[in-house]
Amino acid sequence: MKNRYIDLIEQTFYFPQEGFDVKDGQLDFNGVPLMDLVREYGTPLRISYLPKISSQIQKAKRIFNEAIKENNYDGQYFYSYCTKASHFSFVVEEALKNDIHLETSSAFDINLVENLVAKGKVNTSQFIICNGFKTDQYKANILRLHKNGFNNIIPVLDNKPEINYYQQHLDGQMKIGIRIAADEEPKYEFYTSRLGIRYSDIIDFYKQNIENNPKFELKMLHFFINTGIKDTTYYWSELNKAIKVYIALKKICPSLEYINIGGGLPIRHGLHSDYDYEYMLREVVKAIKTQCDSSEVPVPHIFTEFGSFTVGESGATIFSVLNEKRQNDIEDWYMIDGSLMTTLPDIWGMSQRFILLPLNKWEQDYQKVNIGGLSCDIGDYYNSETHQHQVFLPELDEKEPLYIGFFHTGAYQESISGYGGTKHCLIPAPKVLLINRDEHGNLTKEVFSQEQNPEAMLKILGY
Ligand SMILES: Cc1ncc(COP(=O)(O)O)c(C=O)c1O
């Protein structure tokens, strides 16, 4: 019986496959021999293969444009990149080479856009879609960008009171959007998303606050469901509900012309998974077209905000196996030179699986192992994949260490783990206050550090 790692992979999956190949027992990622990188830079190592970002954007644009043509869809497709997936300057600047727009999630994101404007990477005609529950600072930043000529900035109202701030502080007229609070998939503990305005409230809200208000032009209806774009009854029923709201609103709001279906286009987290993007996106376009035609309403232009899809597959995280520990008759641990918990926090936080492959020793026999991170935490481990509840890797030998890579790790991991002090959605670290008692027992207070500011955050991200 063949027991080599390479045989296991070739018998289990179609291999080689897009992005992955093996030459002389060593792994190539998008044509890059990874062992060369390891020899040059050592481990642990986080790599970003930048051309993948552009090719993903071009793929989505091509599929949407083909679907638009096939369906005689009288509207356009707008790709906006959801910056929170990865705010790094090298990611956003690569994405911006592809004639795209941006979606923001918090106050500092607007500082990020301003930095890109100063560098000539973003111009005032681009769409800046502003999502999220907005603090006053975020709202003020949005209005500053609008004042500085961004006519296509669209704050997407997350809640009804949000509009009051703009009403009070806005000079001139601004485009706005409304986010539908989608019903969550039944597996969640809550029924309706905390983000957005309830389906049933949207028409009344429009009539009372926007219809005859010279300050606002309602342009966009926004819809995003947490589970992403999937071929499930739940997804299609939520999408169809959103299209119905669009149609009802369009009938009374002539300025409305964009539907935004958010992010959530899945990426490969296992070698067995391959998504039929053509089918899914064609069905989305068809669903919008069919309903609009039967209601005799012009079709909307379509916006998406793909985050993981844009940047996820460009990333990989490489570790060395430092040693093997056999803790009982059946449990074998490969101890790596880093922490999974702090480098790839979704593994710990949401049981996320990534593509896991060795970089070398593909000709070696394989064995079942647990991967142990360097931190002391019991949760710092990895021992199952998307297609099976176990992990197999080549056996170790004396010749050279085994190197392993987690692939398609390019989205969210740095911000959630707080790389260098950055934060998820760029929500700043709070002010730190030390409270003590002096020798008389009186309270003393000392500010250890101020709340994080945009400059500090953006510096970490390469701006
Ligand atoms: C409003 C909105 N748009 C886009 C995204 C991006 O999702 P993804 O990275 O799955 O494409 C998210 C993710 O939470 C979101 O909340």
Tell me the sheet residues that pair with 155: 130
Read off the pLDDT of residues 204-240 as tens digits, 9 standing for 90 and up.
999 999 999 999 999 999 999 888 999 999 999 999 9
- Phi/psi for 37 (5° steps) reads -65, -40
pLDDT in tens, 230-269: 999 999 999 999 999 999 999 999 999 999 999 999 999 9
Average confidence (pLDDT) over 379-408 = 94
Q: Would you say 364 and 411 are in contact if contact means Cβ atoms under 8 Å apart?
A: no
* Closest by CA position to 260, among listed 301, 222, 298: 222
Q: Identify the H or E element spanning 407.
A: strand 403-407
Average pLDDT, the chain: 96
The residue type of 176 is I
Burial classification of residue 454, based on how many CB atoms lie within 10 Å of its CB (0-12 exposed, 13-18 middle, 19 or more buried): buried
What is the torsion angle, in degrees rounded to the nearest 10, for the CA atoms of residue 30, residue 35, residue 38 and residue 43?
90
Which range among 23-32, 110-119, 183-192 shows the weakest confidence by mean pLDDT? Answer: 183-192
- Answer with the residue of higher pLDDT: 386 or 105: 105
pLDDT tens digits for range 429-442: 999 999 999 999 99
Mean pLDDT of 55-60: 98
- 83 CA from centroid of ligand 1 (Å): 9
**Domains parsed from the chain with CATH numbers:** 5-50+312-410 (2.40.37.10), 73-307 (3.20.20.10)
What integer pLDDT is reported at residue 266 of this predicted model? 96
Q: What is the pLDDT of residue 419?
A: 97
Q: Pocket residues for ligand 1 (CB within 6 Å)?
A: 82, 85, 103, 131, 224, 228, 262-265, 305-309, 411
Band of residue 194 on the pLDDT scale cut at 50, 70, 90: confident
Cβ atoms 22, 357 nearer than 8 A: no
Q: pLDDT tens for residues 122-166? A: 999 999 999 999 999 999 999 999 999 999 999 999 999 999 999
Q: Which residue has the tokens 């979704």?
A: 346
Question: Of all protein residues, whose CA lies closest to atom 7 belonging to ligand 1?
Answer: 263
Region 75-99 average pLDDT: 98
Atom of ligand 1 nearest to the CA of 131: 1
Residue bearing the CA closest to ligand 1, atom 12: 263
- Residue 454 pLDDT more than 70? yes
Tokens of 404: 């392993």
CA of 84 to the centre of ligand 1 (A): 8
What residues contact residue 157 under an 8 Å CB cut-off, 6+ apart? 163, 176, 177, 178, 179, 197
Query: Peptide bond before 44: cis, by omega within 30 degrees of 0?
Result: yes
- What distances in angstroms separate CA 178 from CA 157, 185, 436, one per listed residue? 5, 21, 47
CA 102/CA 340 separation, integer angstroms: 30
pLDDT tens-digit readout, 161-180: 999 999 999 999 999 999 99
- Centre of ligand 1 from the C-alpha of residue 193, in Å: 13
Which atom of ligand 1 lies at the shortest distance from residue 306's CA?
11
Atom of ligand 1 nearest to the CA of 85: 9
Instruction: Indicate the Cα dihedral angle 147, 152, 153, 154, nearest 10°.
Output: 130
Token match 């991991």: residue? Answer: 413
Q: How many Å lie between the centroid of ligand 1 and the Cα of residue 327?
A: 41
pLDDT higher than 90, residue 274? no
Whether the per-residue pLDDT at 83 is higher than 70: the answer is yes
21 vs 362: CA distance, rounded Å = 11
CA atoms of 122 and 381, how far apart (whole Å)? 41
Question: Which atom of ligand 1 lies at the shortest distance from residue 265's CA?
Answer: 11
> Looking at 25-29, 111-115, 185-189, 273-277, which range is the least confident one?
185-189
Cα of 180 from ligand 1 centre, angstroms? 14
CA of 129 from ligand 1 middle (Å) equals 12
pLDDT at 1: 59
